[in-house]
Amino acid sequence: MNTLISFAKNTNILLQEVKNNVQIVGGCTQIEEFPQRLVSTFGIKELSQINRHERYIDIGPGVTLSDILALGQNHIPQILYEAITSIANPIIRNMATIGGNIFAQGNKHTLYAPLLALDTKLDFKNQYETKTISLSAFMNIPKGFYLANIRIPSTFADLYVFRRIGPEHSITQQSASFAFFINTDNNCITNIKLAFAGPIVFRSKELENILVGRHLPLLRKEINQLLEMVNNEFNKTILDKMISDVLKQQFLNLARYSFEQLT
């Protein structure tokens, strides 16, 4: 099947294509099977901008991964910087967009877990309104809307752990990303996030709420209790979903490793 790829010159044209159920793409680096028609956001200026604010960064979905890295390691959260540098190579990062990484078909890709841990919000627009949806609550793109902006809090961790799991140069059913993120004050946990994304998406706000306010260092007994809770919450998430025992064990090993950094 031949695929017709068009380039929208502005968001008005993009919206018209959305109404016609045409699939939106960025750099096309994540597409394995091409549909009959695609519309690219490449060249739409307002979707390819980065605006830094005091407490957050607004990044257009058409911004390339290389453009984000160009901000510098001191200007974006460390966990996001490390996650981006783990992706492919500079040539691919020059083409791949942050929007494409978030909305890639099939398994969630590398940036999903760290963006989830950072409490990222997505702004969707049509000609009449803007809908803001947190990544943790995101299910589907609202019908008739396009992704206009990705808002990432400028939160720098006192301790973080990021790992990319699976084959180095491809995304398979054994691929996932793990993100652990914590802030402390006077040996007290003030902010903590644990996220996992691949064949399934996992983040336990119940676990995070239990840990906020807890004093450090953690005791071995506390770590074992937390791991039991994580395991139970994870099992609820994967209920009726396909995930290998190996991938689950890798997640639990990383969770243990992360908690052990707090002893």
Checking if the pLDDT of 138 tops 80, the result is yes
Checking if the pLDDT of 28 tops 60, the result is no
Task: Calculate ∠ Cα 235-172-79, nearest 5°.
Answer: 75
CB count in 10 Å sphere of residue 142 = 14
- Look at residue 7 in the predicted model and tell me its pLDDT: 72
Alpha-carbon gap, residue 186 to 188, rounded angstroms:
5
Phi, psi (deg, nearest 5) at residue 47 = -95, 5
- Look at residue 17 in the predicted model and tell me its pLDDT: 76
Checking if the pLDDT of 30 tops 60, the result is no
In this prediction, residues 6-12 reach a mean pLDDT of 77
Task: Calculate ∠ Cα 101-90-151, nearest 5°.
Answer: 35
- Look at residue 2 in the predicted model and tell me its pLDDT: 61
- Look at residue 221 in the predicted model and tell me its pLDDT: 96
Is-contact 66 97, C-beta < 8 A?
A: no
**pTM here?**
0.90
pLDDT tens-digit readout, 223-252: 999 999 999 999 998 887 778 899 999 999
Checking if the pLDDT of 36 tops 70, the result is no
The tokens for 175 are: 């691929």
The rounded percent of the chain whose pLDDT value lies above 70 is 92
Q: Which residues contact 100 (CB under 8 A, 6 or more apart)?
A: 25, 26, 27, 28, 29, 30, 61
pLDDT tens-digit readout, 84-130: 999 989 999 998 999 989 988 889 999 999 999 999 999 999 889 99
Measured in whole angstroms, how far is the alpha carbon of residue 37 from the centre of its chain? Answer: 26
